[in-house]
Structure 1
Amino acid sequence: MLDFKQKIIALSILPLVLSMLIIVLALNYQSELLSEQSGSSYREKILELRKQQLQSNIELALGAISHIYQAADEHDPLAKKQVAEILNMLQHGDDGYFFVYNEEGINIVHPRQPYRVGKNWWDWVDASGNPLIQILISNAEQGGGFHEYLWEKPSTGLIAKKLAYSVMLDKWRWMIGTGIYIDDIDRDVITLQEEINGYINQTFIVIFVLTVAGVIVVFFSGLFLQASERKLADGKLKVLTNRIVDSQEVERQRVSRELHDGIIQMLVSTKYVVENVIFRLAKGDSATEELAQCEQYLDATINDVRRISRDLHPNLLEDHGLSAALSALIEDYRNRLNIDISFEPLAIKKLLPSDARTTLYRIAQEALTNIERHANATAVTVKINVNESWFILSITDNGCGFDTQKLSRNKSPFVGIGLRNMSERISYFNGRLDIYSSSSGTKVVSKLPKKLLNYSNSNKR
């Protein structure tokens, strides 16, 4: 039989043990839920980045063949052959390539499985029993779409998950597609979940140690120390949980930054054009005009790459704010184009958050580039101002203008890429991009919500 003192100690220890048990069970449930949600969220974000990468690869491939495709008619065997040969040579990464089928399911291009070329694969089904070619063609006819399936991975020879994106060359009724293997995403998700479980296991160990320590302290010190130890355990548990969440967010941001590599995409695009010119020369065709065009395009591409490399993260934008960075950018264009570009800045150093400043800087870059390439303008005005609702950046030129309604109706993947990028950037901040254009000029107005402004960080230049 327990004496009274032992009963008091037992009654003091029992709530602590029960409380720790409840915490462990609740934490175990929450850890499983957190692990599942984190893995799912991570997979969705990486998958979305892969989709953007596939769309970029398709756009680059279309850019490499556009000079042939747009000049050809629907029954031009020589142009079709040239396009097929170009696509057959293009690749991205170790396992990335392009494939082409006509609307009847006959393969035209498949560099990794050449035995498929010339054969009809309309009724062929994949390992999951799905008519793969029919699905890819259907997605392309609907304006472009994605599809996950199982396919042999060239670098390993093993069957792996693959994500494909396909679009239609309407003039020739060709489906052009490319894919990227996503088996690594599942491995990364498992690794992430194992890391989370590792943190949770460490937390379990800490809880166990604290529980034993609490039992010992309560045994010798009584109910007062029991309450104190429980409070300490809860505090440490919250700290550990916060550290886990913070570490996940830091890692996600790092992965997102590394996957967004615009410089390499520009270099790959330039390489595709150069390879096409080399290919034509190797066939013995006359390519004087093409070489001259290629040289001009290559020079422009090199200049763009140098400018992007210099301005990818301009020091002026971080050190001196948006106005100073835009002033330097405008001076660069003014010297290069030899036209009158006026600038009306806002004399505040860091009124906007860093990512918002970068967005407006990129929009100004794109607008000035469009003026350089298409507007034939002799005067440009860049202005920053703030009204009751918006922070506004406007770029106005006196060039030839363009038909904005016709551009919005055009569904071609070759048209309007820059304007779409501008719109997507501004929409991220719930902003607006308004474009007004006529034969007397064009005005691009970018608006960010005024609530983004942080006057506590603003300084006079």
Structure 2
Amino acid sequence: MKNLKIKQKILILTIVPLMFTVAALMAVSLYQLRVMGVHEVEQIRSTMMASKRESLLNFMAITETAIRPILEGVSDGYETQVRVKTLLRSISYGDDDGYIFAFDYNGLTEVHPAKPELEGKNLIDLTDVNGVRVIAELINAAKNGGGYVSYMWDKPSKDHEVPKLSYAIALKEFGWMLGTGFYIDDIDDAVLLKQQEVDKEEQTTIILYLVIGTAILLLIIMVNLWFSNRALVKPIRELAESARQMSLGKMDTVITVNSNDEIGELADAISRMQKSLKVIFKKLKQTSRD
């Protein structure tokens, strides 16, 4: 700082606090933007999940309504089960990824339209990659009045396991668990897409802030340079030149600086010194003549 000129010192004292202020404002704004983005992403997830839960309830209510006439109209138990199975196998929705499945309370597969080869097999001990005992959990949910279970399951249209949310109810007449589910990988896809939008918006905001901040900084630098040159540097240089002329013995130098600040006080002090030196020089000349 010692070797810097006044103009440079003023620039530093102006720009450094300004840069910290702009950086702080950017940080706060970006934090708020990120919080809003996270909220939007979670809102999408919760809204879509709530919609799927409600749809599952509606599908199972429709299924129960469709089964009821068969249960009430056929007295033969075996024939009733055959008709119910036929009905359940005929129900599909959501581009063939939606279907109704049925298991007895021991885990024996009664109906599974997506994988008919599983029918007749006991899957009570089936667990997914996360350790969820899928069929056992669904049976427990059904026995407890109906409930949701999340797990991983093969998706027919993708040929690999994806997250699935199912709702199970009890068909007490047969001792069965009836269920249906939605693959919720589309929720993850929607969330990922929204997250990408949020990230892109954040990047755009950062660039915008940098451009605006740089423009403001350049404007302030230009104004600062103009003001410091006009109000500080130029008067000081004029006073320095006046002092230099006085050091050469030119006591008639006109001091033109006129202001009410510290520079004005300095100019006034130099002017008084000039007058005093004139008096001293005049006396010295008279003394030398005598």
Q: Taking structure 2 as the reference length, what is the TM-score of the superposition?
A: 0.73
Question: 2:21 matched to 1:19?
Answer: yes
For residue 4 of structure 1, report the CA deviation from its aligned partner: 1.2
Please identify the structure whose Cα radius of gyration is greater: 2
Against the structure 1 CA distance between its residues 58 and 9, is the aligned structure 2 distance closer, same or farther, given a 3 Å change threshold?
Answer: same
Partner residue of 1:120? 122
Are the aligned partners of 1:163 and 1:181 in contact in 2 as well (CA < 8 Å)?
A: yes
Would you say the 8 A contact 2:34–2:202 is kept in 1? Answer: no
Deviation at residue 14 of structure 1 after TM alignment: 1.6
Q: Secondary structure at the match of 1:65?
A: helix
2:42 to 40, 43, 58: 40
Using a 3 Å threshold, how does the CA distance of structure 1 residues 164 and 224 change in structure 2: closer, same or farther? farther
Identity of matched residues, %: 31
Residue 152 (structure 1) shift: 0.6
Give the match for residue 193 of structure 2: 191
Q: How does 1:130-145 map to 2 (within 5 A)?
A: 130-145=132-147
Matched letter for residue 217 of structure 1: L
- Counterpart CA distance in 2 for 1:146 and 1:56 is 13
- The Cα of 1:72 is off from its aligned counterpart by 4.5
Paired position in structure 1 for 2:80: 79
Is the contact between residue 90 and residue 98 of structure 1 (CA under 8 Å) also seen in structure 2?
yes
Match of 2:99 in 1: 97
Query: CA separation in 1, counterparts of 2:186 and 2:18?
Result: 44
Structure 1 equivalent of residue 272 of structure 2: none
**Structure 1 spans left out of the alignment, 5+ residues:** 226-461
| Aligned counterpart, 2:255 | none
Deviation (angstroms), 1:136:
0.1
1:180 maps to what in 2? 182
Distance in structure 1 (CA, Å) of the matches to 2:224 and 2:74 = 91
Q: CA contact under 8 A between 1:145 and 1:165: conserved in structure 2? A: yes
**Distance in 2 (alpha carbons) for counterparts of 1:197 and 1:79:** 56
Instruction: Give the C-alpha shift of residue 47 in structure 1.
Output: 0.1
Alpha-carbon separation, structure 2, partners of 1:113 and 1:139: 22
Q: How far is 1:92 from its partner?
A: 0.7
The gaps in structure 2 that reach 5 residues or longer are 228-290
**Which amino acid in structure 2 is aligned with residue 53 of structure 1?**
S
Q: Please give the alpha-carbon distance, in whole angstroms, between the structure 2 residues aligned to 1:31 and 1:224.
A: 37
- Is the Cα–Cα contact under 8 Å of residues 12 and 223 in structure 1 kept in the other structure? no
CA–CA distance in structure 2, aligned partners of residues 127 and 224 of structure 1: 70
Correspondences of 1:420-435 after superposition (within 5 Å): none
- Given candidates 6, 9, 30, the residue that maps to 1:4 is 6
Q: 1:82 and 1:224, CA in 2 relative to 1: closer, same or farther beyond 3 A?
A: farther
Quick one: distance in 1 between partners of 2:178 and 2:143? 11
Aligned residues: 224
The residue aligned with 1:455 is none
* Poorly superposed stretches of 4+, deviation over 4 Å: none
Structure 1 residues 85 and 110, CA gap change in structure 2 (3 angstroms):
same
Describe the SS at the equivalent of 2:46: helix
* 1:16 and 1:211 in contact (8 A); partners too: no
Equivalent residue number for residue 172 of structure 2? 170
Separation in 2, partners of 1:122, 1:188: 33
| 3-state secondary structure, aligned to 2:110 | strand
Deviation string, structure 1 residues 179-222 (Cα, Å, up to 9, x no partner): 11110111111111221222222211111011111111111113
1:188-267 → structure 2 map (5 Å cutoff): 188-222=190-224
Distance in 2 (CA, whole Å) between partners of 1:5 and 1:39 is 50
What pairs up with 1:316-355 in 2 under 5 angstroms?
A: none
Partners of 2:170 and 2:85 in 1: how far apart? Answer: 14
Shift of 1:120: 1.2
Would you say the 8 A contact 1:146–1:166 is kept in 2? yes
C-alpha deviation, 1:112, in angstroms: 1.0
Aligned-partner residue type, residue 47 of structure 2: K
After superposition, the C-alpha distances for 1:247-273 in whole angstroms (9 at most, x for unaligned) are: xxxxxxxxxxxxxxxxxxxxxxxxxxx
Contact 1:68 1:83 in 2 (8 A): yes
Q: Which whole-Å deviations, capped at 9, do the CAs of 1:298-355 have from their partners, x for residues lacking one?
A: xxxxxxxxxxxxxxxxxxxxxxxxxxxxxxxxxxxxxxxxxxxxxxxxxxxxxxxxxx
Query: Which residue pairs with 1:148 in the alignment?
Result: 150
